[in-house]
Amino acid sequence: MLFRSQLIGRPQLGIFRESQGARKIQKWQPPILSLALPSETGRVLSIQSHTVQGYVGNKSAVFPLQLLGYDVDPINSVQFSNHTGYPTFKGQVLNGQQLWELLEGLEANNLLYYTHLLTGYIGSVSFLNTVLEVVKKLRSVNPKLTYVCDPVMGDEGKLYVPPELVSVYREKVVPVASMLTPNQFEAEQLTCFRIGSERDGREACNILHAAGPSKVVITSINLEGNLLLIGSHQKAKDQSAEQFKIVFPKIPAYFTGTGDLTTALLLGWSNKYPDNLDKAAELAVSSLQALLQRTVNDYRCAGHDPQSSSLEIRLIQSQDDIRNPQVKFKAEKYN
């Protein structure tokens, strides 16, 4: 009987010790090193789309930012098997309530300190409104949070989001953004101003500055067959913006994920050179152009005509061009 009672008692003692140990582990939980020992660059929350195969959205943005030294926490606004340019795709779409639940989970564990918020494709007004609440919440933790917004709405005269998103971007998102990276069509939508010349592009930047963000980069403007980027940095509200352009060649192919990559690179380099947006843009454009040329060359090596379909970018193979780009495209400052 004594032997039996000892057998019965040992598991009970073990359970007690285990629960006591669990409490001890919880009390002495190890620090989150990205918070306790933050990188010199920053900690980014990136809310964008995700594909299992290929590089768009977060798949196109997270890796480059990590290469540039950032801790990046991705939230996938959608999770699809592949991008929507394929004949078919499967997957799930995150709604605003689910986004907020993820944020609540981070907050419950004191994980909401971020230096940057990055947003890309958003497909509904309700989700975009929740993103605005995310901005408020993150800035309540870190008032110096930099919000980099790629207002993905459309291209070449066509919207590919619901039309009601345009007014939400224009009236609510632009005023709280630190940096905007629209393409030509998106800049026109946000400013209600047609861009038909370089002067128009510069004026569109000024209109956006007046609405909120201190940094604006119109990432691609097509003028008479020439492509250029126009960047603008208003360093103080009572000062004129410093503006520049970068001219780059039009590669005869259609790529997916390039806008997401461009914005990530602009975030990465502009934070390293906060007072030199032109230098940041030179590095971003040079990285992108090297990657696109490699993509085209690799498709040709595989026996595929690059002009016959949309191309998946060669992101991993171009990591040296992302980390240490050779600046081949220089900024020209406007007087």
Q: Which residues are catalytic?
A: 260
Residues in contact with 230: Cβ distance below 8 Å, sequence separation at least 6, in sequence order = 198, 201, 202, 205, 217, 218, 221, 243, 244, 245
Q: Name the amino acid, one letter, at 170.
A: R
Q: How many CA atoms lie within 13 A of 202 on its CB side?
A: 13
Give the integer Cα–Cα distance in Å for 28 and 22. Answer: 10
Which string of b and e fits 291-319 if b means at least 16 CB within 10 Å? bbebbbeebeeeeeebeeeebbbbbeebb
Give the integer Cα–Cα distance in Å for 103 and 97. Answer: 10
3-state DSSP call for residue 26?
helix
